[in-house]
Amino acid sequence: QQPVQSPQAVILREGEDAVINCSSSKALYSVHWYRQKHGEAPVFLMILLKGGEQKGHDKISASFNEKKQQSSLYLTASQLSYSGTYFCGTDWTGANNLFFGTGTRLTVIP
Amino acid sequence: NAGVTQTPKFQVLKTGQSMTLQCAQDMNHEYMSWYRQDPGMGLRLIHYSVGAGITDQGEVPNGYNVSRSTTEDFPLRLLSAAPSQTSVYFCASSPAPWVALYDTQYFGPGTRLTVL
């Protein structure tokens, strides 16, 4: 039931780009991306809906491949504030429940 | 709006003790959920509710009870605490249906529980 995220960890220098992937074995209604800083609650980044709709902000965007049930999160020109653990949450029941991956730890260094 | 609030922030229990983790939201959301987060395991769904009076089990419900008597509150009860329940617990709420509303789950600040 849990989606699979890759990579597990990545280290970037400021200004570099990164891609985080999320794969599900279930057909999905939506994919949600969150960022969590140490000791804090997950914070919503964006939602991708079945049908290819996309939401995003700033220099963070995402895609959703319905045929493969895969989503990718793109972080461009990374900033120090992007550091944290990124989780994808997948909704395959349509009941407003999210099943989360184990996370990708992103570290941005000067 | 205060959003989703949780109490307490920290709790230490002895094995066998019981306690209730409180969760409240002021956004009039129908859906509420409880997750636990363990190192390397991500967030796992314990119980959820689709509205007042309606609850259901998630992935890891054993050892926990919930009830939903009002839209605002969704307490989580540990019946007889065990060291395996040491974790960080997050409550979340969401509007329904989130697909139509382009919305998502909102998380509370979490409760860090240690069972000795």
A46-86 tens-digit pLDDT: 888 877 656 666 688 898 988 889 999 999 999 999 999 99
B79-113 tens-digit pLDDT:
999 999 999 999 999 887 666 666 678 899 999 99
User: Are B98 and A89 a contacting pair at CB < 8 A?
Assistant: no
Give residue B102's pLDDT. 62
Interface contact A41, partner B, CB < 8 A? yes
The pLDDT, as a whole number, for residue A42 is 92
Q: Do B43 and A89 touch (CB under 8 A)?
A: yes
CB contact under 8 Å between A47 and B41, yes or no, is no
Q: How many CB pairs under 8 A join A and B?
A: 67
List Cα–Cα distances, B77 to A3, A108, B8, B72, in angstroms. 28, 39, 13, 17
Inter-chain CB proximity B110 and A41 less than 8 Å = yes
Tell me: pLDDT of A1 over 90: no
Query: What confidence tier does A12 reach under pLDDT thresholds 50, 70, 90?
Result: very high
The residue-averaged pLDDT of B12-30 equals: 95
Proportion of chain B above pLDDT 70, given as a percent: 94
What are B7's two structure tokens?
């109490």
Q: Which residues of B touch A91 (CB under 8 A)?
A: 98-99
How far does the CA of residue B2 sit from the closest CA of chain A (Å)?
15
pLDDT at residue B94, rounded to an integer:
87
Record: contact A32-B105, CB cut-off 8 A: yes
Please tell me if residue B44 touches chain A, with a CB cutoff of 8 Å: yes
DSSP notation for chain B: ---EEEE-SEEEE-TT--EEEEEEESS--SEEEEEEEETTTEEEEEEEEEETTEEEE-S--TTEEE--SSSSB--EEESS--GGG-EEEEEEEE-S-HHHHT---EE---EEEEE-
Check residue B101 and give its pLDDT.
62
Q: What amino acid is encoded at B60 in this protein?
A: V
